[in-house]
Amino acid sequence: MANLSLRNVHKIYAGNVMAVKDFNLEIEDREFIVLVGPSGCGKSTTLRMIAGLEDISQGEIYIGDRLVNDVAPKDRDIAMVFQNYALYPHMTVYDNMAFGLKLRKVPKDEIDKKVKEAAEILDIGHLLDRKPRALSGGQRQRVALGRAIVREPKVFLMDEPLSNLDAKLRVQMRAEISKLHHRLNTTFIYVTHDQTEAMTMGTRIVVMKDGIIQQADTPKKLYDMP
């Protein structure tokens, strides 16, 4: 069984906007899927349906072997990283990373261990006492990643996580996220409109246009690389 399956998934918004049409994809453990395509092609909507932030109009989504159509976002065994980081401004880095686990009533010593492990992986161990406003853009993005990985979800969802960073930092964080993927050995779904990002990060690239999958293949085959 695939780690994540989308079967005949459709999304029709009010006003009869067909944002996603008959989306079919079987995603295995450890794949790094990049959804790529022009603005408005349905990438975010697809990601948000996987996250449960958007109802699906038709079709089924499975995470592991569980049909999640009617499962709340917090119970889906996923974590999502946004482009605007969505950190809690009044909380320290530590508390930002710990918050999701606290909500789930994870014991404190276990939370502590997970937060410190994640902080080490992301090289933010020295920033745990700071508030988000005292961090650089790259550091904030690391905290957002840290907050996701402490939950050890089955699937990581990322919606243009690097689009607010400058070009140099973007290249750095790309490498960082690829490293994280290798280290965690879990499924990543990454949305971008940036071809270079798709090519350098994806193990499989899904090209969308007008709500439809146009192509889905390895970067090598898609871009005819040697």
Identity of the residue, 103 or 225, whose beta carbon is nearer to ligand ADP in the bound complex: 103
34 touches 93 (CB < 8 A): no
Helix residue spans in the chain (DSSP H): 43-51, 93-103, 108-121, 137-149, 167-184, 195-201, 219-222
Q: C-alpha angle with apex 70: 67 to 75, nearest 5 degrees?
A: 80
Backbone φ and ψ of 15, nearest 5°: 90, 10
Taking the mean position of all CA atoms in its chain, how far away is CA 108?
26
Span near ligand ADP by CB under 6 A; candidates 13-21, 24-32, 83-91, 177-185: 13-21
- Residues in 122-141 that interact with ligand ADP by CB under 6 A: 128-129
Tell me the window of 22-30, 41-49, 56-64, 72-80 that interacts with ligand ADP (CB under 6 A): 41-49
Closest distance between ligand ADP and the C-beta of residue 122, in Å? 14
**Which residue in 32, 85, 94, 156 binds ligand ADP (CB under 6 A)?**
94
Per-residue binding letters, 147-186, with ligand ADP (x by CB under 6 A): ----------------------------------------
Total binding residues toward ligand ADP, as defined by CB under 6 A: 18
Residue 17 contacts ligand ADP per CB under 6 A: yes
Residue of 148, 80, 83 lying closest to 118 (CA atoms) = 148
